[in-house]
Structure 1
Amino acid sequence: MNMVKILTLLFFGISTNAITTTSTDNGKCEEFTNTCAVISCGSQRSAGLPGRDGRDGKEGPKGEKGDKGQQGHRGSQGPPGKIGPPGAKGDKGSIGQKGEQGVSATSEVDTVREQMKVFERELHLLQASLNKYNKILLFHGGKQAGDKVFVTNGFEENFENAQKTCKEAGGNLATPRNAAENSATQEILHTKGESSKSFLGISDAQVEGIFKYLTGEKMTFTNWNLGEPNNSKDNEDCVEIQDNGKWNDIPCNLLRLVICEF
């Protein structure tokens, strides 16, 4: 009868969740927790053949939620995600401090105009000083003709030295370019007495018979004596002005009164 029950349990696949032991002393069966519905009791018998694999039973009820485990180590950083949509437009910021005022083109023009006014004032002062200087020269025997002032140092020198003296003073040898300038030079000769003569800034040293100003320019005014220039003895490359205002060609090594123009 017991074997029939065992075979019946194996046939229907009912697995037991309890352990059953048989006592040899009193032949009773002791039951532990969760025993099956059918318990066989009796004397110990030999083990039967292994039963067929049973089928899983129904899933039991869900157990209670366990305690929270310890936090694990931080994993490696994953790849960057896609760029999200643009955020909402922020509030307008506060107004910054006002910058320095720039210089406009009009201001630059005004600056240039002011500089020109200063330059003109300085030029007028310079002109006034020059006029004052000219008056001083005239007071000491100088003669003015147009924009030129003619003066003498009272010494006689040859052509080369006379020219050097005038250059060092910031002027040139007297070079009349019109009748007024020629008369001013003549008047200075009169202050030194009769028969006074002076070199002019004119020469034909480069090309014989072609007189030019020392600057290399062609002459625009002449006042030669009758029969002059004649290049007497082929040695007259320089020009003198006589007390009568007439010109004459003479050797350059003679001594004549130094008259400079400024």
Structure 2
Amino acid sequence: MLLLPILIIFALEICVLKTSNAIPNQSVQKWDPNACTLIVCGPAQNGLPGRDGRDGKEGPKGEKGSQGLQGVPGLKGDPGNAGTSGPKGDKGPLGEKGVKGERGLQGATGQEGKPGIAGAPGPKGDKGSVGEKGAKGSNGDRGLQGSSGLQGLKGQIGSPGPKGDKGSIGEKGTKGDSGLSEINLLKRQVSTLEGQLRALQSSFSKYKQVITFPNGRIVGEKIFMTSGYEGNFESLKQRCSQAGGQLASPRNAAENTAIHQIVALYNKPVFLGINDIQTEGRFKYLNGENIVYSNWEPREPNNDKGAEDCVEVYTSGKWNDKSCGERRLIVCEF
């Protein structure tokens, strides 16, 4: 029993010697008084560990070392993500007025535009001065011979002349008509004269009404006249009828030219006596006959907005379908 304590003491001494002669870089297990009373130092088989060096004095502080060389600049980092937009800044002061620029080159002429819609009629102009007297026209063709006039009254009986010599006997004549046939002939002549008189009275009445219009054109047996009055289709039609005529209804290019001259003189479009009120797209004269001549503007008639049933003449002489409620210049034909 005495041998065991001796061996323990011997082991402790050997451990102290081993610790003092240990290599500086060798790891040493420290003594921790709060843990165990015995800590193995180095290899366990070499003996018990000695005390740690906490009881030793602290060594002197070393001198400050020289500043090291400046390091190599690092590489430029990747650009950061765009930040959120900041609030809108205040409105800046108004800048100075710039210098007026030079005038640019004139552009190319554009395409001719479509004819504009006829404007509202302007005020009636002053009466123009009387033009110079025109040159005397050439003599017209001789007219047809008129019918024989009525037989004149029987003249007074003259004084008897001297008795003449007896003539030779003539050939036997044809048998004459009876007195009844002569009466029938006179009746026929009187009837013919009465018809001519009625025609003359009608023509005189017509021309008397025509002269109430100041301007007009004559084409063949037709006369186209205007009074300067403006109204819708129905009122124009009624006015022409009251004057013994009707709304101008051209049946050929010559008559359309005469109407165009009046339109150009007044610089106002006119309504014609033509419409498609009864059947859309089928234009007719006022008497119900289909038209035999037309002079439409390109892409007309188009019945714009489904309300164009009457026909107007532009200042160019071309036709366009138009609403009958519009106001236009009157042109009648006689």
- TM norm structure 1: 0.54
Counterpart of 1:187? 261
Number of aligned residue pairs? 157
Counterpart of 2:275? 203
The one of 94, 118, 123 aligned to 2:193: 118
CA distance in 2, matches of 1:176, 1:146: 12
Matches within 5 A, 1:213-224: 213-224=285-296
Matched, 1:152 2:237: no
Q: CA deviation at 1:119?
A: 2.8
CA distance in 2, matches of 1:164, 1:135: 15
Given the superposition, is the C-alpha separation of residues 232 and 180 from structure 1 closer, same or farther in structure 2, using an over 3 Å criterion? same
Q: CA deviation at 1:124?
A: 7.4
- Cα RMSD of the aligned pairs, angstroms, is 2.6
Contact 2:250 2:256 in 1 (8 A): yes
Contact 1:157 1:257 in 2 (8 A): yes
Counterpart of 2:48? none
Q: Which runs of 5+ in 2 are unaligned?
A: 1-177
CA deviations on 1:85-106 (whole Å, 9 max, x unpaired) are: xxxxxxxxxxxxxxxxxx8430
**Equivalent residue of 1:209, what SS?**
coil
CA distance in 2, matches of 1:232, 1:185: 25
CA distance in 2, matches of 1:159, 1:207: 17
The one of 299, 311, 314 aligned to 1:242: 314
Counterpart of 2:146? none
Greater length-normalized contact order (CA 8 Å, ≥ 6 residues apart): 1
Contact 2:247 2:273 in 1 (8 A): yes
CA deviations on 1:68-123 (whole Å, 9 max, x unpaired) are: xxxxxxxxxxxxxxxxxxxxxxxxxxxxxxxxxxx843033222233045336626
**Equivalent residue of 1:180, what SS?**
helix
Matched, 1:108 2:183: yes
**Equivalent residue of 1:230, what SS?**
coil
**Equivalent residue of 2:215, what SS?**
coil
CA distance in 1, matches of 2:299, 2:222: 30
CA distance in 1, matches of 2:209, 2:220: 12
CA deviations on 1:30-69 (whole Å, 9 max, x unpaired) are: xxxxxxxxxxxxxxxxxxxxxxxxxxxxxxxxxxxxxxxx
Amino acid at match of 1:207: T
**Equivalent residue of 1:154, what SS?**
coil
Contact 1:142 1:151 in 2 (8 A): yes
Given the superposition, is the C-alpha separation of residues 202 and 135 from structure 1 closer, same or farther in structure 2, using an over 3 Å criterion? closer
- TM norm structure 2: 0.43
Matches within 5 A, 1:5-154: 104-116=179-191, 118-119=193-194, 122=197, 125-126=200-201, 129=204, 133=208, 136=211, 140-154=214-228
CA distance in 1, matches of 2:313, 2:323: 13
CA distance in 2, matches of 1:210, 1:232: 15
Counterpart of 1:90? none
Extract structure 1 runs of 4+ deviating beyond 6 A.
none
Contact 2:209 2:244 in 1 (8 A): no
Q: CA deviation at 1:190?
A: 1.9
